[in-house]
Amino acid sequence: MLQKIKKAAVMSPNISLQRKFVSPEIIFGAGCRHSVGTCAGNFGARKVLVVSDPGVVKAGWVADVQASLARQGIEHCLFTDVSPNPRCEEVMLGAELYRSEGCNVIVAVGGGSPMDCAKGIGIVAAHGRHIYEFEGVDTLRVPSPPLILIPTTAGTSADVSQFVIISNQEERMKFSIVSKAAVPDVSLIDPETTLSMDPFLSACTGIDALVHAIEAFVSTGHGPLTDPHALEAMRLINGNLVQMIANPADIALREQIMLGSMQAGLAFSNAILGAVHAMSHSLGGYLDLPHGVCNAVLVEHVVAFNYDAAPDRYRIVAETLGIDSRGLSHRQVRERLVQHLIDLKQRIGFRETLSLHGVNLSDIPFLSQHAMQDPCILTNPRSSTQRDVEVVYAEAL
């Protein structure tokens, strides 16, 4: 199932190797959400399935989408039965609504959950099979319907990535679908839509984006097409996240974080990720926790574990985050990088541990077993055993 990522994981990241880079058409800038009707019309939309969640509806962003579609004379139906971690049954319900209403284009407006759910709906609508049958890498055989995504958070990057993350609540686990066929057709990245995020959500998604960038840069699948995006994302997020949370109405700061999130997404979509995300997916599926919280709890522990496997690249990460590494040993750089990540989290209000969310030592074998089955573990810079993952989870308690 994971042969293609396994192959990437053992390849040396040499510039002479062939690299591919996938990306949607991206329209970036304040107010661009209002052009969704034009974009849908360009795909010959007769009726659009709009996927969102109640919080985004309440914020008013769905109304903007509906008005834009109406101006183009395009009908739509609305699907908002989406949990914070989108579930198999929600994907299947959305696909049934898409079919029964005669839709031919999908628009999602929201955070990672509505966007991943919309991707899943398109997959099911195209293939006519259950969503869990597509777990793994390059399992999609039929093109999905045209998909337009409008993110309302600055962090998940589902709007530019080839990842789909779905929660199977019966098994208490998340599973990944990774395919260039899951890359949306158009991403409308509008910083104004993040004005409705509260400080906690801003912190969660900001840390998620920073972890995307760090893991993409040290991934065994990194290369010259992804490194510049990862480094710029680190610079933008590290330099603006604290100020943005302190000044939530500053649209210029929000634009910088949104741009950083986009850059991080382009990096990790093509370089893949690492142990933070493998462990986070397992943790989020088990406890139904917000993805950004899971990443925030784990990031410094995984960086400490991985550092010696890619010290030169982690030194560049440290320097990009503003750490002066001149004359320092690798051990000293590692210590400063880990402390910087802890300090950054605390400055935006994170003092989370796994035990605060109810994780016990007895849960760790289950969590580690599922983390080892996640595609992201295969491009982690340090080869990991289940026992390694258990130790890192235990340190995060």
Which amino acid, one-letter code, is at 148?
Answer: I
Q: Does residue 256 sit within a domain? A: yes
Is 18 among the domain residues?
no
Query: Which residue, 134, 161, 194, sits at the end of a domain?
Result: 194
At 309, list the tokens: 């496997």
Q: Is residue 169 part of a domain?
A: yes
Judging by DSSP bridges, how do beta strands 47-51 and 105-110 pair with one another?
A: parallel
107 belongs to a structural domain: yes
User: Which pLDDT value is given to residue 386?
Assistant: 97
Question: Does residue 275 belong to any structural domain of this protein?
Answer: yes
Q: Is residue 38 domain-shared with residue 173, that is, in the same domain?
A: yes
CB 367 within 8 A of CB 377: no
What's residue 351's pLDDT? 85
pTM to 2 decimal places: 0.93
Judge whether 313 and 296 are in contact, CB under 8 Å: no
239 shares a domain with 131 = no
Is-contact 113 85, C-beta < 8 A? Answer: yes
Helix, strand, coil percentages for the chain (3-state, nearest 5): 55, 10, 30
Q: What is the domain-level CATH number for residue 284?
A: 1.20.1090.10
Of 193, 158, 198, 205, the C-alpha closest to 178 is 158
- CATH label of the domain that carries residue 182: 3.40.50.1970
Residue 293 and residue 367 in one domain: yes
- Regarding whether 142 and 206 lie in a shared domain, the answer is no
Detail the DSSP E strand segments found in the chain: 25-28, 47-51, 75-79, 105-110, 136-137, 147-151, 163-168, 173-178, 186-189
Instruction: Answer with the one of 139, 173, 194 that is the final residue of a domain.
Output: 194
Are 168 and 142 contained in the same domain?
yes
Is residue 300 situated within a structural domain?
Answer: yes
pLDDT tens digit at each of 397 positions of the chain: 444 444 444 444 444 567 889 999 999 999 999 999 999 999 999 999 999 999 999 999 999 999 999 999 999 999 999 999 999 999 999 999 999 999 999 999 999 999 999 999 999 999 999 999 999 999 999 999 999 999 999 988 999 999 999 999 888 889 999 999 999 999 999 999 999 999 999 999 999 999 999 999 999 999 999 999 999 999 999 999 999 999 999 999 999 999 999 999 999 999 999 999 999 999 998 888 888 899 999 999 999 999 999 999 999 999 999 999 999 999 999 999 999 999 999 999 988 889 988 899 999 999 999 999 999 999 999 999 999 999 999 999 9
Does 276 share its domain with 376? yes
Is the separation of the CB atoms in 106 and 147 below 8 Å? Answer: yes
Q: Are 205 and 182 in a shared domain?
A: no
The CA distance from 251 to 255, in Å, is 6
Kindly write down the DSSP assignment for every residue of 49-86, as one continuous string. Answer: EEE--HHHHHHTHHHHHHHHHHHTT-EEEEE----SS-
In this prediction, residue 6 carries a pLDDT of 43
Assigned domain for 4 exists: no
Considering its fold, how many domains does the chain have in total? 2
The whole-angstrom distance between residue 269's C-alpha and the CA centroid of its chain comes to 9
Q: What is the pLDDT of residue 10?
A: 40
Q: Are residues 123 and 180 in the same domain?
A: yes
Domain match, 185 and 224 both: no
Q: Give yes or no: residues 392 and 289 share one domain.
A: yes
Q: Which residues, 6+ apart, have CB-to-CB distance to 45 below 8 Å? A: 69, 72, 74, 104, 105, 146
pLDDT of residue 289: 84
221: number of Cβ within 10 Å: 21
Residue at which a domain ends, from 173, 194, 215: 194
What count of Cα atoms within 13 Å lies in the side-chain half-sphere of residue 130? 6
Domain that holds residue 40: 25-194
pLDDT for position 11: 41
* Same-domain status, 169 and 35: yes
Considering the domain architecture, whether residues 185 and 328 belong to the same structural domain is answered as: no
Nearest to 33 by CA among 163, 155, 188: 188
